[in-house]
Chain A
């Protein structure tokens, strides 16, 4: 997988936007950026993915820079339930990837 770099931890106040950065400077042209999160004691949960355009769904928005070397996951109004480890993953093989390799991710703590 293309190497990704994420901060170890971040804090966010409840109700504010959480912006989680990810660097993936070695990403190839056909490789997607995937975001998952893992709430304590649960299995990882798919959030969103994108290639080069910004993406939005009911959970989050994904902003990918024009050069595709970095991206930001945005939780527009963070709640306490968004406290989790967030993983940014760039699997090889484009949309036909086979497996996901999880790094250490970013521990997001949302506080009241």
Chain B
């Protein structure tokens, strides 16, 4: 298994632009999580899905952030418009019930 696949690995964008981060979970995993990591705040849970349904999005910082999971093999996290304070590493993770999380390699986002 290729693990959790995230793209792109790095993204540099200008303030105000739309950014879309992508995640392919491990086949058969029924839960998907989006985390954000910064030096100041550490790892923060943004949103998680169970069986493609968003369960808890209380960690999404603002309405500028949105996430979708149209099917079991794909999820996106979109920021529109992006701001410099959104600069962080964004991780996607998936999990099968009763088992630990598997994280992707992350997307390093820089908003200038």
Residues of A within 8 A of B (CB): 34, 36, 41-46, 49, 95-96, 98-104
Contact = CB atoms under 8 A, between A and B. Distances in A.
Contacts of A46: 100-102
Contact of B101 (A100, A101, A104): A100
Give the interface SS of chain B, mostly helix, strand, loop or mixed: strand
B25 interface: no
Interface of B: 4, 31, 33, 35, 42-43, 45, 48, 50, 55-56, 91, 93, 97-98, 100-106
A34 B42 contact: no
Contacts of A42: 105-106
A104 B103 CA distance: 18
Contact of B106 (A34, A43, A45, A96): A43
Contacts of A44: 43, 91, 93, 101, 103
A102 B97 CA distance: 19
A100 B45 CA distance: 8
Contacts of B48: 98-99
A34 B102 CA distance: 13
A47 to B, nearest CB: 8
Given A46-B102, A49-B100, A102 B42 contact: yes
A101 B55 CA distance: 16
Contacts of B101: 36, 44, 46, 100
